[in-house]
Amino acid sequence: AAVLLISTTVRLSIFARRREVEIMRLVGATNWFIRWPFVLEGFMTGLVGAVLAALAVWGSNWTIFNWIKSTDLDYLSIEIYPLWLQAGTWPLGMLFTLALLGAVLGAVGSIFAMRRYLRV
C-alpha cells in the first residue's frame, strides 16, 4: 500500500512538472538527471511517513502502557506486551529500521512511477 501511495504521489509530481521534464530532454539532460529528483522525493516522502507512523505507534504504546499501569489491569501488561515493550520504550534499532524501510519503499515507489509515467 505504501508503494502504491508514493507511486501515485510521484506520478502527480511528474504530471505537474511535465513541461520542465520536456525542457530538460530538449537540452540533453541524461535520464538519471531527470529521474533523480523524483527518486529523492519518493525517498523523503517514505522517510517522513515512516517516522510519523513510528512516532504515532510509540505514542499509542506509551499511552496504553501508562493507562494499564495506573489501573488495576496491571496483569494485562504481561500477557499483551512483550518484555521489551513493558517498560514503555522501544529498542532504538527498531526505529531506525522502520525509518529505513519507509525510505526504501518510497524510493521503490518512485522508481515504479517513473518507469510507468516518465518515459525516459
DSSP string, 66-105: HHHHHSS-TTHHHHHS-GGGTTT---HHHHHHHHHHHHHH
- Assigned C-alpha cell, 108: 521503490
pTM value? 0.74
41-62 residue pLDDT tens: 889 988 998 899 888 887 887 7
Distance CA 51, CA 46 (A): 9
Q: What are the residue ranges in the chain where pLDDT is below 50?
A: none
